[in-house]
């Protein structure tokens, strides 16, 4: 995706991706909102929004949210 600034972004934060919990459970979902302590995901298949505390996500997913949180 080409940002308005002309910088190429390698990852679309609104794309469907695998989200992992700290205990290894995985869901396919799209990030639709994020705060300093939680992320709201739109679950693929059902379209249902789910609010997840960042503390329950894997370290990699917490880093993804921090990088893409608006």
Q: Does residue 32 sit within a domain? A: yes
Work out whether the CA dihedral 63, 64, 65, 70 comes out positive or negative. positive
Q: Is residue 37 part of a domain?
A: yes
Residue ranges making up the domain that contains 58: 17-68
Cα of 20 vs its chain's centroid, Å: 10
Residue 15 pLDDT grade (very low, low, confident, very high; cuts 50, 70, 90): confident
Would residue 6 count as lying in a domain?
no
Considering its fold, how many domains does the chain have in total? 1
Q: How confident is the model at residue 12 (pLDDT cuts 50, 70, 90)?
A: confident
H helix or E strand, kind and range, residue 62:
helix 59-68
Q: Is residue 27 part of a domain?
A: yes
Average pLDDT over residues 16-42: 94
Q: What is the pLDDT of residue 69?
A: 82
CATH of the domain at 48: 2.30.30.700
- Residue 9: inside a domain, yes or no? no
- What is the bridge-based pairing of β-strands 38-43 and 26-34? antiparallel
Question: What per-residue confidence (pLDDT) applies to 11?
Answer: 59
């Amino acid at each position: 995706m080409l940002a308005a600034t002309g910088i190429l972004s390698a990852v679309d934060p609104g794309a469907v991706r695998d989200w992992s919990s700290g205990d290894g459970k995985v869901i396919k979902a799209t990030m639709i909102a994020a705060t300093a302590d939680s992320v709201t995901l739109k679950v693929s298949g059902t379209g249902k929004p789910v609010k997840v505390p960042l503390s329950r996500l894997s370290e990699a997913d917490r880093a993804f949210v921090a990088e893409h949180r608006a």
